[in-house]
Chain A
């Protein structure tokens, strides 16, 4: 029983949350349209949370994902301003993401700086670079190609009375989550990352190439952050050197929420996705209920604390200390 609640307590909380909004907003909340909306709203956060899970599996952190997202968006936009096409802009942004991620990996794995410190430093660096490249201005309007912005508006028509659309942004997020799931849960690469998180020295002595794996995992996270930055830029049809800043804390919050529903409190990507959905549903439901936006933030923080506390108490009840 205790085991069941520890594992599924947060999931049950999610069901209660959804049930509450369903009852409070009988006509509008539990509709396909609203859920498609939520899926699109959280798509960027889902991508960042998924790739954040990759490094958190190793017991590491990447605080630079938010500023990397901003930087990637700005890089793409500046490429567009210079007259390059969509493909070139996207490729440049992804390359910057990979490079920035590898720099993080290098600092953490080869030089041996604590991830918290290393990525805190690169957070400021990448954010500064975004300001330098954009000149501190928001790039928008005719500079952003129509096709780029249209991607975030479009989707696959699902039919129905009032035509429903499965947004491309949602599909992109699902693709990234699926990719991370495959990587972490189905490949030897992922298993080795979990081993590093489980016991780094034991993993090294068992023949795991710890340095190389940490380096590449951070590279992966950098690319993911860039993907999220591009999605964001497409959604707002503009790029601004600070627009991704909010993603980092929300992503970490989502992974932590997810960890409360995974066995032994380990980061799992599908659990992180569930954490993202909780945050998205809270935002959506509370906005519809006209709860003040500042009160909303307090409530979101409370929910995170509640879930993590329950999980900690549950673990204490099991181990008896």
Chain B
């Protein structure tokens, strides 16, 4: 038994020695990036771009994934606060990790959000501008129909990030006296949003059988746009030139746009840009800059048939 014990101590010592050696002693700033969602594809784009930029800046980045456990995000925020990192980046709703934010604030460690949300204790949240994305597609619609005709809107006011998109589109269309909003539909999203949007669109097409009586469909995200496209094609009215737009530019939407049919435009978020800009924002804070804006927007890209093959 005594022998076994010595062996055990040896194993532990060896393990810890290897562990210590693996911790590269870097000179630069130590920054912790904590997310419960690393397994999600979008998150990986941000994190990789953040790490690339941080490497250029000579930082030592510790990426911590808590595999969906939000309480563990708080725990790890407390741990890295104790460790004394230079800054913490979070990728989770600040409302859920208040205790961690308070711990960091007490130790004067800045917290920056990466597509997280705003909070008094978050120096800045780096994200895409929902207002701007809606304006891009609404204006695209207005221009394509030469400022005149009936438009169908698909919105979802119950979810705040989508609600702002609808408000912006309302304002854009109201500014054109000859554009009439035929209907403002909130689809049932339990099935993902495509099927119910298609059903609603079919009803509207039936009520407005005259060619030209519907000029455009504006959707606050891609799924209703895809549903409307299916309804229009199924009704044999694909040739009327009804313009459809969505937002988010998901792969299915990109395919539809590339096909050159009625679905003409959507808006893509720049995930890599968000990661890079987050790193730059951290750098600004570490340099002592006091940020006036608590939200930093990363430009988005309008996707149309012209650039759908090149835009990432």
Contact = CB atoms under 8 A, between A and B. Distances in A.
Given A289-B23, A290-B62, A236 B96 contact: yes
B29 interface: no
- The bracket for how many chain B residues form the interface is 35 or more
A6 B76 CA distance: 33
Interface residues of A, number: 55
A238 B22 CA distance: 37
A149 B98 contact: yes
A5 B5 contact: yes
Interface in B1-44: 1-2, 4-5, 8-9, 11-12, 15-16, 19-20, 22-23, 30
Interface stretch (A173-181, A208-216, A240-248): A240-248
B83 A232 contact: no
A12 to B, nearest CB: 8
Contacts of A302: 15
A140 B96 contact: yes
A153 B83 contact: no
Interface string A289-316: 1111110000100100010001001100
B66 A293 contact: yes
A314 B7 CA distance: 13
Interface in B50-83: 60, 62-72, 74-76, 78-80, 82-83
Contact of B70 (A34, A236, A299): A236
Contacts, number: 122
B205 interface: no
Contacts of A294: 65
Interface stretch (A182-190, A218-226, A280-288): A280-288
Interface SS of B by simple majority: helix
A2 interface: yes
Contacts of B2: 1, 5
Contacts of B76: 283, 287
B95 interface: yes
Contacts of A20: 12, 16
A24 B18 CA distance: 13
B71 A236 contact: yes
A284 B1 contact: no
Given A238-B70, A243-B69, A293-B63, A37 B79 contact: yes
B23 A246 contact: no
B95 A141 contact: yes
A99 to B, nearest CB: 25
B148 interface: no
Given A25-B83, A240-B70, A314-B4, A16 B9 contact: yes
30 contacts: A1-B1, A5-B5, A9-B5, A13-B8, A13-B12, A16-B9, A16-B12, A27-B84, A40-B78, A41-B78, A44-B71, A140-B93, A141-B95, A149-B98, A153-B98, A153-B102, A232-B71, A235-B74, A237-B96, A240-B70, A245-B68, A284-B79, A287-B83, A289-B19, A289-B23, A290-B62, A306-B8, A306-B12, A310-B4, A317-B1
Interface of A: 1-2, 5-6, 9, 12-13, 16-17, 20, 24-25, 27-29, 31, 33-34, 37, 40-41, 44, 138, 140-141, 149, 152-153, 232, 235-238, 240, 242-243, 245-246, 283-284, 287-294, 299, 302, 306, 310, 313-314, 317
